[in-house]
Copies of this chain bind each other. A is one copy, B any other.
Amino acid sequence: MGPLTRSFEERLDALALLALRVGVGFGAGERLRLGGPLEAAPLVRRITALAYDFGATYVDVRYADAEIELARALHAHGETLDHYPSEQADLAYLVAARGDAVIRVSGADPDLMSRADPTRVQRMTRAAGRANRRARELGMRSFMPWTIVPSATPAWARKVFPGETDAMERLWHEIFTATRATAEDPVAAWEAHADGLDARARRLSAAGLAALHLRGPGTDLRIALCEGHVWEGASATAESDGRRIVANIPTEEVFTAPHARRVDGVVRATKPLSYDGQLIDGFSLTFEDGAVVDASAERGQAVLDGLLETDAGARRLGEVALVPHSSPIARSGRLFFNTLFDENAACHLALGDAYLTSVRGGLERPREDLGADGLNRSLVHVDFMVGSSELDVDGVHGDGTVVAVMRGGEWEMGALVP
């Protein structure tokens, strides 16, 4: 095995280590639920072996085969598309509710479902969303330790590096760089990085902004923040046992919850969005009183319409996240067609469900009270990218004072107190 190969193996091990140690803080005597695409088997196997080295009681690996989902979308009789096996949802809830760690490996073909009828895909997605509501809610409050890590796969690599014979190697290179798997001590590098993001989040929380104002080409959007909002960085606390987790590797964002009924203006997406294996591109959303009242896409209009029609909360915002345009992933200049990457290369918003941890006391207070304070609720949570080198973000205080937060896509927080 030559030095290049050895280096690849070492980096794959580093990524597995990051997923377990930094991502979910995995320790002896724990169980792990691990999912990912078939084609991510090399990383899935590394994570499994390392989890057992760490003393895992059991690693339950569930591979997802996108071709199986596509086969259903293409072949199933129409009347069956709203069915989802409740026993699978019950199992997912059971393992989450007892606090098993959950790792998802991301790397699916970004437009696998492009051959399928969007309305059929939506029915499948909604049925799965409804069935998995309880498990998803545990994830949205980080009850159990969970994280998402990337793996290169041939279909994804072809999409990012079309026509290039070394597409897989190049995508792995981007992944290892973005996840800091190339660092001398990847865990230490992550702790320093997460500390930096967490400090920025604390500073933004302390500023107590009432709203943000986003301005850029095609974008002029005023986003009031949820009452009692809290900015979060890389780290979260797993409610089950209080451990520190990092739910996305990589992550470059700080984020909080918009007020679901106080968003007005227009926003233009700056990158395509892969949703359910279907691409939505060149799209703009117009908001009134928090709800999308107009949505137009150059590609994927039906997919976008279907997403917005999922439920009442799907037309409202559940997250606003700030990422500098100089983030390592953005510097690569690549479009990844994968939310885990693209959302960490650009400021983004999410349609749908808000994280309970985005507001003070969100885990303890009744959901109805949180809703009254503006926290959005939905079966979906779909991030879309709005950042660029031309995006300015103002912070607006309760008294109407405006302070710069980002200029030209970069942090400019000097005027923020403290």
A residues in contact (CB < 8 Å) with B: 28-29, 31, 38, 41, 44-45, 48-50, 52-53, 55-63, 65, 67-68, 71-72, 74-77, 80, 83-85, 87-88, 91, 94-95
Least CB distance, A45 to chain B, in whole angstroms: 5
Contact of A80 among B57, B65, B85 (CB under 8 A): B57
Closest 3 CB pairs of A and B: A52-B75, A49-B71, A52-B76
> In the complex, what distance in Å separates the CA atom of A41 from the CA atom of B50?
26
Contact of A53 with B75 at beta-carbon distance under 8 Å, contacts A59-B68, A65-B61 already known: yes
Q: Is the CB of A63 within 8 A of B38?
A: yes
Residues of B within 8 A of A65 (CB): 41, 44-45, 61, 63
Report Cα–Cα, A56/B77, bound state, in Å. 8
Complex Cα distance A67/B42, Å? Answer: 10
Cα distance A79–B74 when bound, in Å?
46
How many Å lie between the Cα of A38 and that of B53 in the bound state?
24
Name the distance in Å between A77's Cβ and chain B's nearest Cβ. 5
Known: A45-B68, A91-B87. A80 touches B63 (CB 8 A): no
In the complex, are the beta carbons of B41 and A41 less than 8 A apart?
A: no
Q: With a CB–CB cut-off of 8 A, which chain B residues contact A31?
A: 85
Whether A72 pairs with B85 at a CB distance below 8 angstroms is no
Give every chain B residue within 8 A of A59 (Cβ-Cβ).
68, 71-72
Q: For the complex formed by this chain, how many copies does it contain in all? A: 2
Contacts of A74 in B (CB 8 A): 49, 52
20 contacting pairs across A/B (C-beta < 8 A): A28-B77, A38-B38, A45-B65, A45-B71, A48-B68, A48-B72, A52-B71, A52-B72, A52-B74, A52-B76, A52-B80, A53-B75, A55-B77, A55-B80, A56-B76, A56-B80, A57-B80, A58-B83, A59-B72, A60-B85
Set of chain B residues within 8 Å of A85, measured between Cβ atoms = 31, 58, 60
Q: Which residues of B contact A57 (CB under 8 A)?
A: 80, 83
Set B53, B61, B67, B76: member contacting A68, Cβ < 8 A: B61
A91 CA / B49 CA spacing, docked (Å): 25
- Could you tell me if B87 and A94 are in contact, using CB atoms closer than 8 angstroms? yes
Q: Kindly list chain B residues whose C-beta atoms are within 8 Å of the C-beta of A68.
A: 44-45, 48, 59, 61
Q: What is the bound-complex CA distance between A41 and B63, given in angstroms? A: 11
In the bound complex, residues from chain B placing their C-beta under 8 Å from that of A72 are: 48, 52, 59
Known: A29-B80, A57-B80. 13 other contacts (CB 8 A): A38-B41, A44-B65, A49-B71, A49-B74, A50-B75, A52-B74, A52-B80, A55-B77, A55-B80, A56-B76, A56-B80, A58-B80, A59-B72
Q: Given the interface contacts A48-B72, A88-B60, does A67 sit within 8 Å of B41 by beta carbon?
A: yes
What residues on B are CB-neighbors of A44 within 8 Å?
Answer: 65, 68
**Complex: A44 Cα to B38 Cα, angstroms:** 13
Q: How far is the CA of A76 from the CA of B57 in the complex (A)?
A: 8
Query: Which B residue's beta carbon lies closest to that of A52?
Result: B75
Cα-based distance from A91 to B85 in the complex (angstroms): 11
Chain B residues within an 8 Å CB radius of A77:
28, 52, 55
Closest B residue, CB atoms, query A62:
B62
Is the CB–CB distance between A95 and B87 below 8 Å? yes
Contact B67 A45 (CB under 8 A): yes
Shortest distance between the CB of A389 and any CB in chain B (Å):
42
- In the bound complex, what is the Cα–Cα distance between A83 and B29 (angstroms)? 11
